[in-house]
Amino acid sequence: MTDAKRTQQENYQAQDPASGPLTTDQGVAVDHTDDSLRVGERGPTLLEDFHFREKLTHFDHERIPERVVHARGAGAYGYFQPYESCAAFTQAAFLQDPDVKTPVFVRFSTVQGPRGSADTVRDIRGFATKFYTSQGNYDLVGNNVPVFFIQDGIKFPDFVHALKPEPHNEIPTGASAHDTLWDFVSLQPETLHAIMWLMSDRAIPRSFRMMQGFGVHTFRFVDAEGNGTFVKFHWKPRLGVRSLVWDEAQECQGRDPDFNRRDLWQAIEAGDFPEWELGVQLVPEEDEFAFDFDLLDATKLIPEELVPVRPIGRMVLDRNPENFFAETEQVAFHTANLVPGIDFTNDPLLQARNFSYLDTQLLRLGGPNFAQLPVNRPVAPVRTNHRDGPHQSVVHSGATSYTPNSLGGGCPAIAGADAGAYRHHVERVDGETIRRRSASFQDHYSQAALFWNSMSDWEKQHIVDAFRFELGKVEAMSVRARTVEVLASVDGTLARAVAEGIGVPAPRQGADHHKGNSPALSQESLRGDGSIRTRRIALLVADGLETEHLAPIREALSSRGATVEAIAPHDGKITGLDGSGYVVDRALPTVASVLYDAVLLPDGPPGDSPLLTEEAAVRFVRDAYRHGKPIGALGSGVALLERLGVAADAHGVVTAPSASSRGDGAPSSDDGEEFTGRFTEAVAAHRHWNRPALRH
């Protein structure tokens, strides 16, 4: 089953370019593609040059409208496998048999920026999964945070217009720090809970591979007897939830705008397949009203302490797309792509999405046949009475394309009771035609405060800093002040801390009555397998440094799954202290600390390190320190730290004495192992807070 999608795709491969000469779209061989056909060497081009016209026309039509939101993304194929049968609560075929792997395609995205915007902006990340199941495609179109900004989809255009670059000057790109967003937020307090997540480090993930995913809405599982159970979906990354530091994220936008995209691609190419566990929170239908919030309100989560997340399977991404446009750009997700056993609820946000996704694909992909595109094709057989339309690529035979028919033998027949037809959950709904939000949707503050209360000290500090940054960029002081007023209804301390940074009066009163706390919301509780797999470690080397004893340290780190790269002032080789050549992986001018998770400084001769005169190396180490990254220093590397104003005893700075000071000229294997062990722990912890400031 895993390979069903891959096998299907093989039918759509382009001709091997090595199999013959260049041709036109009509398959006519071309012997000259550099000069257009013209009258005389300096004369006008001829209309009859069909190759020239076809080439330019095709080029002129290469672009399609980008997604109105989530335009920038990266995708990968893989598989999903359940741990055990979930028949007790859903009949979904792909959740029954632990031996069955269902192919998937996942697209991660940012929301605000256009296709060419930078990856490491402060934004929600999309996490959309297409399961190619035996019963048809199922799409779980989620985000990396569990709540949304609005409760009713009719507000989506308003919210997105406020979030997007402002229409008069199209500024800012890929950022939420501008007047219109905060104007909207300050007037629409239902946004506040999601805003708290957006201001947290969840909005600057270190990697797509290190973030959670959430279905957000309450959906419904339906078992074979038609019984429903409410369900919330959670993806938990094996590597834990890890974030960048805001300053680092900003610099990364310039150093590598493709940071998250490249990271995903490289990990899969290297065989470090990203992995998530799928978990569900299940709520029996009779408990629909058991909570102090409404299950249909997408601005609310169900605290895991109230309803634990039950792991039901895992997803592994193990294949990069062949072609970005054909696959990642043309993939079309739709919340209404459901399979038997999974159904909607009446969440008004979800109901609106069920309209919007199909509608948007019609524009983006140019008509109703987009499900025929290779990436969108189900592996389940498709038999419809839909015909024609732009880009129809299926040749339907026969005279009948209607139901009922007798001339086509009544085919395709309606699915019988045992054919796994989709049946909508039966629910009695009764009411008047009204435009009104339920009273159960009115509390916009308790869960925003729950999130705040659940943060560790460093997470709280980062949230305050983020608010100060964002609101500090807002020109209208009235908007700044009004936002602080609404924040005061979440938490007085938070509102006062923000006010202090942005030049508006502290609110007179602030809420202090929201007492809830959910430890599961803090990144502190989301450390994954605790490994250092796929962490990128920069080994800064230069001519004259001690390279002889680095091999065991590098090997130990690599064997734990980290990538160690030797970085030097120049490419090629450097000459180590013992006179031997040492291969350089990257030249300093092409990299920066923000592209690595940790730094390692080797030993060297007594006296000043040759790295001290390398400005880029100095900046590298100082940036790593400022961004809380683990730093390992051996021997004279420790002295270098001191010279750079780095406190060698700060959190996450791991040192070992000089080999030469022990007189034997080499670190003993015990020392090496002990150092590597401590350094590994520091890398696994990811970032280290509460460091003293750099001394200048």
Task: Using alpha carbons, select from 87, 150, 119 the residue that is nearest to residue 341.
Answer: 87
Are 687 and 627 in contact, with CB atoms under 8 Å apart? Answer: yes
**Is 627 a residue that touches ligand HDD (CB under 6 A)?**
no
State yes or no: residue 261 binds ligand HDD (CB under 6 A): no
Our answer to whether residue 70 is catalytic in this structure is yes
CA 562 – CA 557 distance, rounded (Å):
6
Provide DSSP, 129-182.
EEEEETTEEEEEEEESSS--S-SSGGGHHHHHHHHSPBTTTTB-TT---SHHHH
Subset of 289-308 contacting ligand HDD (CB under 6 A) = 298
Given a contact cutoff of 8 angstroms between Cβ atoms, the answer to whether 102 and 328 are in contact is: no
Residue 535 binds to ligand HDD (criterion: CB under 6 A): no
Q: Which is nearer to ligand HDD, 102 or 351 (CB)?
A: 351
Site residue total, ligand HDD (CB under 6 A): 26
Nearer to ligand HDD, 232 or 353 (CB): 353
According to CB under 6 A, which one of 1, 68, 87, 616 is a site residue for ligand HDD?
Answer: 68
Nearer to ligand HDD, 25 or 359 (CB): 359
> Is the peptide bond between 157 and the residue preceding it cis, with omega within 30 degrees of 0?
no
- Asked if 352 touches ligand HDD (CB under 6 A), the answer is yes
The span from the CA of 75 to the CA of 265, in Å, is 9
In the complex, minimum distance from the CB of residue 352 to ligand HDD, in angstroms, rounded to a whole number:
4
Examine residue 132 and tell whether it contacts ligand HDD (CB under 6 A): no
Q: How far apart are CA 342 and CA 339, in angstroms?
A: 6
Q: Which of residues 136-195 bind ligand HDD (CB under 6 A)?
A: 141-143, 148, 153, 156
Per-residue mark of binding to ligand HDD, 88-127 (x: CB under 6 A): -------------------x-x----------------x-
Q: How far is CA 15 from CA 18, 19, 324, 391, in A?
A: 8, 7, 17, 20
Least distance in angstroms from the C-beta of 478 to ligand HDD? 28
Q: Does residue 354 interact with ligand HDD by CB under 6 A?
A: no
Q: CA dihedral defined by 347, 299, 172, 495, rounded to 10 degrees? A: 160
Bridge partner list, 540: 567
**Closer Cβ to ligand HDD, 147 or 252, answer by number:** 147
**How far is 347 from 671, CA to CA, in rounded Å?**
59
- Catalytic-residue membership of 137: no
DSSP state of 78: E
Least Å from the CB of residue 519 to ligand HDD: 24
Can you state the percent helix, strand and coil of the chain, rounding each to 5? 30, 15, 50
Instruction: Name, in order, each residue with C-beta under 8 angstroms of 80's C-beta and a sequence gap of 6 or more.
Output: 94, 101, 102, 104, 129, 131, 278, 313, 314, 315
In whole angstroms, how close is the CB of 514 to ligand HDD at the nearest point?
Answer: 23
Which of 333, 370, 452, 679 is in the footprint of ligand HDD by CB under 6 A? 333
Min dist. Cβ of residue 63 to ligand HDD (A): 16
Nearer to ligand HDD, 79 or 333 (CB): 333
Which of 93, 104, 128, 684 forms a contact with ligand HDD (CB under 6 A)? 128
Among 246, 357, 620, 625, binds ligand HDD (CB under 6 A): 357
The catalytic residue among 51, 137, 143, 686 is 143
The alpha carbon of 547 is separated from its chain's Cα centroid by a whole number of angstroms, namely 37
Active site residues: 70, 143
Q: Where along the sequence are the contacts to ligand HDD (CB under 6 A)?
A: 67-70, 73, 107, 109, 126, 128, 141-143, 148, 153, 156, 216-217, 298, 331, 333, 349, 352-353, 356-357, 360
